[in-house]
Amino acid sequence: MAYTIADLFEHAVDLMPERIALESGDRTRSYAELEERANRLANALVEMGVRPGDAVGLYSRNTIEAVEAMLAVFKARAVLVNVNYRYVEAELEHIFTDSGMKVLIHEDRYTDRVCNTLQDCDTAIAQRIVVADEDSTGAPAPCTGDRSGAVGVHAYEELLAGAADGRDFGVRTDDDLYMLYTGGTTGKPKGVVWRQEDVWRVLGGGIDWYSGEPISDEWQMAKTGAEGGQLVRFPIPPFIHGGSQWAIFQSLFAGGKAVVYPEFDGEETWKIIDRHGVNVVFITGDAMGRPMIEAYEAGDFTCSTLVSIASSAALFSPTIKDRYVTAFPNTVVIDAIGSSETGFGGMSVVVKGQSHVGAPQVKADPETHVLREDGTPVEAGSGEVGVLARSGHVPLRYHNDPEKSARTFVEYDGVRYSLPGDFATLEEDGTITMLGRGSVSINSGGEKVFPEEVEAALKAHPDVFDVSVVGVPDERFGQRVAAVVATTTPGARPPLASLGEVARTELAGYKVPRSVWFVDEIKRSPAGKPDYRWAASVAESRPADEAL
């Protein structure tokens, strides 16, 4: 018995072939249609020489074809490489070479950028598969130049039409891999390597959400889905984000219907929810949550089918959460934590008037811990700051980085942990307060300041739309806290004293920003994570708009 992504999907296909698996606008795929097209692409990959363990890149927005491609890669027992569609050539070169991908599947809109990168990039890429999009004008053309011109090019639909549709890909094993490239908040993208069973256990439903017991029958999710009603999920974050990928996989394993759209717009999101009868929406914190709730409050939407709104992977500030609870009193609003290195770590159900103000706070699952540097657990309610750790089903390693692997995946007293670098405290009631990533913490006069808790406090100010907090040099304290702020109304700049007054209601004085830079927009990753390198560059590029 192997708990692999392809096997779990195929069980749902066998039990529910006629159900609709995917919808996007007027386009649909039944489970049988999705199976056939994924099989054809998988067989084409095998014909190209892709073998188990080989890397295949996917460079796409959220589309039906992207889901087909993900399934095809797993069917062929290859390793998927998620390519961030906002990367520029230098970042693409890193992921092309670091992953060792042999085939790249990409939307036509990214052809120029791909060809520019391949021109001077010594990669293993031998074939490109080009998916037509709304900007396509004809058949895909090969790249030019000595290196890039040697890469074969295929039109996606033509390739599928000429490939076999059978499912005979050999026996899958417990050692089949899943890899997720994560950019995080600092540093170059790095591939986190999991066994497929382990990541399914922590993100895909392989451990029962209610009982905490592991599923022991690989057909269980498909059987339960076939016997019950069909849940409609709408994962809005890009598929480069692991949480969004696994929202799709969860749906496909259980016979659900997933709604996919390539672009995000706050107002359009509610129209999509009404159009498709969405039950569960997945977002990434304020980056998506704020424009959505503002559009909802200003519009006229029904959204009567909505059961749950779940946020993860980015700050979901208390003021925004309360607005959701007010707007959707009969909908469960969830704030969850997790990372590429840990999977799911815990969640909180938001209750109006009871949402924690300040740093994110969640009820941890049994395998999530807060440890001291020596691996011993911190005492609940002590206020001691420790490192977040996860035991149980954790990744194998970072791809091509044994030193970082040794620092992140460690063993204490015979128990293997993943330590992604987040600091946290364990409260008396068992909840965990997330303080932020240690690599971006600010050292001000020997005191650690974590950007996320300052950002959460500042977002309570009515004039603050979005914010990134960084440390800037200070002669006396080494670093001082600085805020890069985008305001709710263009041109309306709140005084630094006003920002400080709001922050001081939740934070100690040394955590309050001493300088502020105003910008039109805060730069974030497609997954909604803050780009602290960009924020630091803003602070370095010009004098502060106001400073104490």
Q: Which whole number is the average pLDDT over 380-392?
A: 94
Q: Can you say whether residue 255 is alpha, beta or left, with left for phi > 0 and alpha for psi between -120 and 50 degrees?
A: left
Asked if residue 186 has pLDDT above 60, the reply is: no
- For the stretch 235-260, pLDDT in tens is 999 998 899 999 999 999 999 999 99
Q: E strands within 463-544?
A: 464-474, 478-487, 515-518
* pLDDT value of residue 446: 77
Residue scoring higher pLDDT (188 or 95):
95
Structure pTM?
0.89
Q: What's the mean per-residue pLDDT of the chain?
A: 92
pLDDT band of residue 353 (cuts 50, 70, 90) is: low
* Buried b / exposed e along 78-103 (16+ C-beta atoms within 10 A): bbbbbbbbebebebbbbbbbbbbbbb
Token pair 């130049």 in the structure block, residue: 145
pLDDT band at 352; cut points 50, 70, 90 = low
Q: Within 13 Å of residue 56, how many CA atoms lie on the same side as its CB? A: 30
pLDDT higher than 70, residue 505? yes
**pLDDT tens-digit map of 117-138:** 999 899 999 999 999 999 898 9
Q: Is the pLDDT of residue 526 over 70?
A: no
54-68, 71-85, 326-340: lowest mean pLDDT where?
Answer: 326-340
Give percent of the chain with pLDDT exceeding 90. 73
Residue 263 pLDDT class (50, 70, 90 cuts) = very high
Q: How far apart are CA 339 and CA 229, in angstroms?
A: 30
**Is 60 exceeded by the pLDDT of residue 311?**
yes
Report the C-alpha gap between 442 and 251 in whole angstroms. Answer: 40
Fold for 359-438, please state it: Luciferase; domain 3 (2.30.38)
Per-domain residue ranges of the chain: 26-195, 359-438, 441-547
The CA angle 58-60-62, to the nearest 5 degrees, is 120
**Model pLDDT, residue 1:** 67
Picking from 115-129, 425-439, 466-480, which range would have the lowest pLDDT averaged per residue? 425-439
**Per-residue pLDDT at 267 exceeds 80:** yes
Reported as a pLDDT band with limits 50, 70 and 90, residue 527 is low
> In this predicted structure, what is the pLDDT of residue 355?
52
Give residue 210's pLDDT.
67
Predicted local distance difference test score (pLDDT) of residue 88:
84
Identify the pLDDT of residue 69: 98
Asked whether the beta carbons of 458 and 516 are under 8 A apart, the reply is no
Higher pLDDT, 364 or 356: 364
Residue 231: count other Cβ atoms within 10 Å of its Cβ. 18
What pLDDT does residue 187 have?
62
Average pLDDT over residues 409-414: 96
| First-to-last C-alpha distance (Å) of the chain | 64
Average the pLDDT over 506-533 and give the result. Answer: 88
CATH of domain 26-195: 3.40.50.980
Q: What is the mean pLDDT of residues 352-366?
A: 68
Confidence (pLDDT) at 398: 96
pLDDT for the residue numbered 5: 98
What the block records as the tokens of 188 is 């170059």
Q: Decide if 440 contacts 484 (C-beta within 8 A).
A: no
- What is the predicted pLDDT for the residue at 150? 86
Q: What is the pLDDT of residues 143-183, one digit of tens each?
A: 987 777 789 999 999 999 999 999 999 899 989 999 999 86
Radius of gyration of the chain (CA): 23
pLDDT of residue 382 exceeding 90: yes
**pLDDT, tens digit (0-9, with 9 covering 90-100), for 22-59:** 999 999 999 999 999 999 999 999 999 999 999 999 99
pLDDT grade for 416, boundaries at 50, 70 and 90? very high
Assign a CATH topology to domain 441-547.
GMP Synthetase; Chain A, domain 3 (3.30.300)
Q: CB–CB of 320/293 below 8 Å?
A: yes
Q: Which residues touch 224 (CB under 8 Å, ≥6 apart)?
A: 254
DSSP SS3 for 415: strand
Average of pLDDT values for 465-477? Answer: 91
pLDDT of 149 reads 79
Q: Looking at 387-530, list the stretches that DSSP marks H as alpha helix, in order from N- to C-terminal side.
A: 402-408, 451-458, 496-504
The reply to whether 26-195 and 359-438 are identical in fold is no
pLDDT band, very low/low/confident/very high, at 521 (cuts 50, 70, 90): very high
- The pLDDT score that the predictor gives to residue 477 is 83
Please state, in angstroms and rounded to a whole number, the distance separating the CA atoms of residues 134 and 65: 13
